[in-house]
Each structure stands twice: as C-alpha cells, then as structure tokens.
C-alpha cells in the first residue's frame, strides 16, 4: 500500500480529501463481511485529530455496546419528523459537557456548547412488525462540537455487533429485513463518507446539526425509568437547556400522524428531508427553493415556479409544483426516481419512500 506523507496543517476539509489519494488495505478479520464493501481506515501523522478509532472508546454506552444503553450523562431523544434513510430506524442521543448548557432558539437547531456530541445510530429490526426485537446496527454518526466548529464522523459496525470503527471513506453493507406486510426487503445500504456528511450539514458554509430544534423536540419521549415526558421540559429539568419559554413553544408535526392537517404533514416532510439544503443558507440555494415549513410564500415552495438549474432532473416538466397535478410536478418526479442524476434527496437513500411520496402527491393533488 502506497501512502502519501502529509504534514497536516489545514482544515478538516483538506484531511477529508486525502482519503481519495490513498489506496487502502484491509483491517482485521472481524470487520470483513461477505460481498460487502468496507473501506479500511487510513492513517497518517495527524490521524488522531480526526477521532477515536473505535466507538467504544468514547464511553457513551454501558454494558454491551450493541444494547445502546446510555450512561447517565448521555440522553436519548427523538424528532417529531425524521429524515427518511431507506427505512432504517434510528436511536439518537446527546451528550453535553458537565457544567455547560444548550441555548434555546425559536426556529433553528439548539445552540450547543463546545464539547457537545450528537450520536445517531442507524439500525434495521429483523422484523419490522417487532421493532423492539432483534436488530442489526449498521452505522453510528457522530457530530462533535469542537473549538473550530462541528465535525462529522462515520462509524461502521462489524458483523458481530461488538464494535464500530471509524471509516472516513464510508462503506456499503448488504442488509435485509421483513417489512410490516411480511415481505422480505434487501438493499445495499450506503454509509456516507466524511465529505458526504459535510455536504448535507452545510449551512452558510459551516457544518451544523440538522435535527434537534425546538420544533422537532417539542414532543413526548418515553424515558424508561422516568416515564413519558415532554423532551424540552426534560432537557430543562436535567440542566441541558436554558431560556426555554413557558408557553407557546413552536412545534413541527409528525408527518406520519394522519390526524394532523395534510399541508402541515407535507411541509414537515419536505423540511426534514429537503429543507436543510433547500434554503437560502443551504448548499442548494441556487435552486431558489425554500422548503422550511416556516416559509409562507407558496412560490418559495415551488408552486408555479420554473426550475433554475434542474437539467435532467426536470424530466421535461415545466414547474416544480403544479397545483392539482402531482404527475406534472418536478418535485414529485424527483422524489419518485432512484436515478442518481434525477432523484432528490440525492444522498442518503436508494429506495423510494412510498409513504412520503404518497403524502406529497396527495398534498399537491388537493392544492388549490
């Protein structure tokens, strides 16, 4: 294996680029999986500045690592509306340094102090009708808030479910499960590399968290020994959050809850799946689409709007959204595709989210 000898002085972005200049070999046998791609970690002088080699070295969990049983200073949470990731389930946790506290923000993600870590584990239950049964964890993504900003690190789990290893080049894992209808599903699940992690989390050119905002956390969570409790009140009671208003807290609806208004559900879906890029501060700002649910202007969502730079992605259609006609709407066309040059979101999925697509189509169909 040939390695470049590099003296690292610059930003994390430069370090990420190095991976594409390396020819990587294999790691220990416990990380090998038949007919799967797991790029090996690379090493050079400043490798320690990237992150710990093993997930267990952070000490987030107690007991068997695969149980994901958090230690006292690691707190579970969930989002009202979650990003679709090829039907993967997610177990989320946050660790905030002792003596420090996150600050409330009415519209954006919480302002987390230096040293905070967001921990997101992606897994598939063997049987989706038994979501709490046997499962396979594929990856754990860490967002670590350092002095120079947020850093995204992907950790890939081994077949034995005993450890996850830092893999800056990402990986591909073959995974299968039984869905709620009893059908067997199988995909080659993609774990993003560090550069892809960065691209989705960019806001004003800096890596930022996407999920844990006031609107997303304003909902109940079952805290096992403590019972069900509003997450924001839990965070405040445990010294994790300051400046929380007493009333009138904003809330993003759960797009899977069909008792909520159709438009609110569709807008929540588009925000979490598309809005982190399609906003004035996001990497897709040149599309002129603003898909955050807080935006009131229909033209900003794409109603009656011609695409600016869709190219092949337009499918020959003229408008992003044509009220009453999802079949004529570029937004629905791109959601329905799995062609890498057409589909949206362009990262993080290989499957069509049937339920999400049906929701957005119904919203467009009933739009006046």
Query: In 3-state terms, what secondary structure has residue 217?
Result: helix
Q: Count CB neighbours of 18 within 10 A.
A: 16
- Asked whether the predicted pLDDT for residue 38 surpasses 70, the reply is no
- Asked whether the predicted pLDDT for residue 149 surpasses 80, the reply is yes
- Asked whether the predicted pLDDT for residue 11 surpasses 80, the reply is no
State the average pLDDT for the chain.
85
**Cα–Cα distance between 203 and 251 in angstroms, integer?**
22
- Give the pLDDT of residue 12: 38
pLDDT band at 140 (very low <50, low <70, confident <90, very high): very high
- Asked whether the predicted pLDDT for residue 98 surpasses 70, the reply is yes
Express each pLDDT in 255-304 by its tens digit. 999 999 999 999 999 999 998 888 888 888 888 899 999 999 999 999 99
Q: Where do the domains of the chain lie? A: 12-228, 262-365
* Residue 28 or 367, more confident: 367
Burial of residue 48, with CB atoms counted within 10 A of its CB: 0-12 exposed, 13-18 middle, 19 or more buried:
exposed
**Cα–Cα distance between 333 and 321 in angstroms, integer?**
10
Give the pair of three-digit tokens for residue 189. Answer: 């699940």
- Give the pLDDT of residue 310: 64
Query: In 3-state terms, what secondary structure has residue 192?
Result: coil
- Give the pLDDT of residue 18: 38
Query: In 3-state terms, what secondary structure has residue 348?
Result: coil
- Asked whether the predicted pLDDT for residue 23 surpasses 50, the reply is no
- Asked whether the predicted pLDDT for residue 345 surpasses 50, the reply is yes
Average pLDDT in the 139-157 region? 95
Instruction: From 63, 61, 72, select the one nearest 119 (Cα to Cα).
Output: 61
Measured CA to CA in angstroms, residue 151 lies from 30, 47, 228, 368 at distances of 27, 14, 32, 43
């Amino acid at each position: 294996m040939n390695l470049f000898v590099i003296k690292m002085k610059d930003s994390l972005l430069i370090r990420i680029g190095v991976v594409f200049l390396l020819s990587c070999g294999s790691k220990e046998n416990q990380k090998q999986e038949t007919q799967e791609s797991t790029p090996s970690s690379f090493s050079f002088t400043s490798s320690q500045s990237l992150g710990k080699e093993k997930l267990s070295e952070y000490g987030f969990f107690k007991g068997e690592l695969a149980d994901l049983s958090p230690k006292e200073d690691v707190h579970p949470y969930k989002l009202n509306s979650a990003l679709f990731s090829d039907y993967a389930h997610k177990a989320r946790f946050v660790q905030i340094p002792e003596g420090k506290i996150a600050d409330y923000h009415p519209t954006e993600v919480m302002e987390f102090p230096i040293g905070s870590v967001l921990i997101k584990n992606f897994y598939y239950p063997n049987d989706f009708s038994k979501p709490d049964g046997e499962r396979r964890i594929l990856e754990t993504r860490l967002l670590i808030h350092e002095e120079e900003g947020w850093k995204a690190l992907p950790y890939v789990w081994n077949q034995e479910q005993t450890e996850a290893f830092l893999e800056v080049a990402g990986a591909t894992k073959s995974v299968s499960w039984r869905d709620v209808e009893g059908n067997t599903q199988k995909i080659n699940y993609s774990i993003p590399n560090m550069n892809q992690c960065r691209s989705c989390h960019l806001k004003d050119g800096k890596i930022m968290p996407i999920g844990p905002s006031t609107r997303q956390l304003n909902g109940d969570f079952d805290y096992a020994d403590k019972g069900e409790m509003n997450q924001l009140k839990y965070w405040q009671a445990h010294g994790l959050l300051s400046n929380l208003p007493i009333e009138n807290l904003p809330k993003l609806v759960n797009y899977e809850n069909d008792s909520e208004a159709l438009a609110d559900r569709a807008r929540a879906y588009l925000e979490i799946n598309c809005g982190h890029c399609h906003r004035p501060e996001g990497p897709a700002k040149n599309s002129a689409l603003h898909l955050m649910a807080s935006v009131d202007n229909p033209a900003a969502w794409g109603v009656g709007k011609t695409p600016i730079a869709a190219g092949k992605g337009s499918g020959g259609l003229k408008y992003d959204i044509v009220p009453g006609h999802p079949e004529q709407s570029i937004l629905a066309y791109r959601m329905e595709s799995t062609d890498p040059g057409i589909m949206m979101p362009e990262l993080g999925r290989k499957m069509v989210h049937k339920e999400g697509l049906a929701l957005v189509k119904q919203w467009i169909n009933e739009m006046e």
